[in-house]
Structure 1
Amino acid sequence: MEGDSITLNSGRTQLMGDDEIVWMFGIENALIAEINVTADIFTLYDDVLDGRFRDRLELDKQTGSLTITNIRTEHTGVYKLQINSARKSFNLTINVKSVSVKEGDSVTLNSGRTEMKDDLILWTFLSENTLIAEINKSADSMSVFEDVLDGRVRDRLKLDNQTGSLTITDIRPEHAGYYKLQINCVKESFILIVSNEISVMEGDSVTLNSGLTEIMDDDLILWLFLSENTLIAEINKSADSMSVFEDVLDGRVRDRLKLDNQTGSLTITDIRPEHAGYYKLQINCVKESFILIVSTRLPVPVISSNSTNCSSSSSSSYCSLVCSVVNVGHVTLSWYKGNSLLSSISVSDLSISLSLPLEVEYQDKNTYSCVLSNPISNQTTHLDISKLCHTCSDSVHCCGSTEAVIRLVLSALVGVATVILLVYDIRSRRAQQDQAHIHTPEA
């Protein structure tokens, strides 16, 4: 990895008395290190090749091995070792700094400097080897070249005049690729990966676009599922082969992958929640990634009254309501008064149940609704206050079922007592009349 150190081993555990060791680099066979044990000479030639190895080479005086520190991309290439008449070679590949960013966001490619001196700083987009920004501190000039690359970086480049770092705003897929920074003679590279966030409903299909209109004869296209870093599809144009690997990932993508043989785009059919995650596209050396978000079908929210919480004042009555949903996923549950948001709650659990309370006035004439939503759909239930909310004087709906029963029983008892008293009174009057009739003398 860029910035790391590496040791190219000579294969010796100890140098012999007559050993002559030579280390060379590149197609120029530039001499970068030499050992002559007989003459007791250990020499580093780190000023060759524009000084790219300066202060980076170390020789092991016991084994003759060569260490390169603080690796940069310009150190990529073939290293040759010659010990007396024996020869050996190493092919060194440097992985550049990888920077991932979501489409629409901004990213800063850091120069590594805290301040500039008499530096010449160049930023190049390597895919087309095009200069996009330049700082010449000695000439006190700073330029961005926004009209290159068919204008794809227009109004998106910002240079830091203190550090030389480059910021790219409002990232798009066409900005993905290799960027090279050169400060004087020192070079460094970045690979920019643009993540496209795509939302799809469970059961639907989605196409991850390669961005190509046609595959070239030497293109190698790889599709990987990054969560397990598993290869799921491949196109090798030079070998005239196109493959999908459906039995990987425990068969979760079996019978669901389709490759476009003209563009290399990948279609996933009958999406399920287990297909959510990161997908990486690699076309030769250019990489791009996609974040696939799978939304489940939304249930309809249910509004119910919480009558035990009914409260009243001298002038008005209030009713407590609750909006509920079960077995939700990545969703937001909200109460609206007309078009105005009153309250909301969000979760990202596939099995949790949600409830959101609301208190309204019985006489309220506004329209209320409860909305369950995810990034691509929503379900709405409208509140009917007249059906769910009643004044607290209503014994059945507002004051609680227990209190209502008690009141009904008391009313019945009072009625029965009244009837008993009335019957007793009538019978008493009749008894008095009969007694008076018995004691009256005959004429």
Structure 2
Amino acid sequence: MDSLCTSILRYRGPLSALSREDRRRLLNRGGGSDARVASRVSELIARVRDDGDRALFELARQFDRVELKSLEVPLERCHAALASLEPSVREALTRAARNIARAHEAQRPGAVEVETEPGVWVGRRPDPLGRVGVYAPGGRAVYPSSVLMGVVPAKVAGVGEVIVCSPPGPDGLPHASVMAAAALAGADRVFALGGAGAVAALAYGTESVPRVDRIVGPGNAYVAEAKLQVVGAVAIEAPAGPSEILVIADVNASPDAVAREMLAQAEHDPEAACVTLAVGEVLADAIARSVERLAHEAKRWEIVTSALGSRGAVLSVQSLEEAWPFAADFAPEHLLLATASPQDDLARVRNAGTVFLGERSSVAYGDYMTGSNHVLPTAGLARAYSGLNLLDFYRWTTWQRVEAPAAAALAEDVGVLADSEGLFAHADAARAWRRP
């Protein structure tokens, strides 16, 4: 579709005209691990696993250019950062934390027990995890909102201990807004640790950093790769990559509103994927023109144009019916339904990290304030993964209870199945209860 490209958007024209290669590039956004990143991360993890705190101090000198006196940040420093926060920012973070707590409290699971046949009971109960690590980026990308998205649900779930890790600045401390958010959300401990080293410390534990049960939170390519490499030693919420949005728009949509949503995600990362499916060529052309105009006014112009030039698309469809199969395959992190009846159209959605109903439901609201979690699957993994939610902070204990008459009734059939699999001791254990 090169002949359909503009100076900014990589793809324009009818969805049906996409070549197989162009469609594959839009849909296959994961790309696998970069071999150089994977190799470097493996080395860093091994250093931390083998040398513990000593490696972490060395990594701070090497990557953060700071000589740390302590890996752990006193909570008093976090509370001081919160007290010093700009009042309007503190008020907004407090409002966000309140909404996040409300939304996640509604997800609280309960114990269940069912009698599968007379005298045979099967049940399970949710148990909060003992310890969770929340990673918060630092440096050029500082997201106190992501601290709230990790810590608040963990506290709502009743996790025993919630630990925040974030890279140190020149003063040896994480960014003040990250420390403030950690204090506001109720984090139990905070460490000045960043990158793959922080992930390794949380996964394996060191002299100072306790081992956790699950690691959540966004990060750069090294953090994302490290989380993948420590799976098996610890759980993670989901593999993550650059931000992305798919907008489905009909004739009722405002071209400028759609364009603003595309640019909002494009400014995250040069590799962000920003795609719109618009009903009719007239609307598609209007949206593309809005994207062109607003992109040139963007403060993060270089990042925006790089993203749109890599995986930016405004494609026309003949009807909404043509859009749904592509949307299911694309499985976006954010799906915005800029349609006349978004509530009705929600029933057609199969794969998405989270869905925004109507163009007024800006993705920015979900990123910060609605209470829904903004830690979401990317790269098409919404086909199998869900966004971070309260269930991520539990494990389930299951149980079975078999009463005496039921044991006698089960014994022979269980014995037959065990014999058929060659597990004769299993058969003997079952048949021992044939008589009540």
Higher relative contact order (CA 8 A, sep 6+): 2
TM-score, length-scaled by structure 2: 0.22
Give the structure-1-normalised TM-score. Answer: 0.22
Q: Which has the higher strand share?
A: 1
Rg larger for: 1
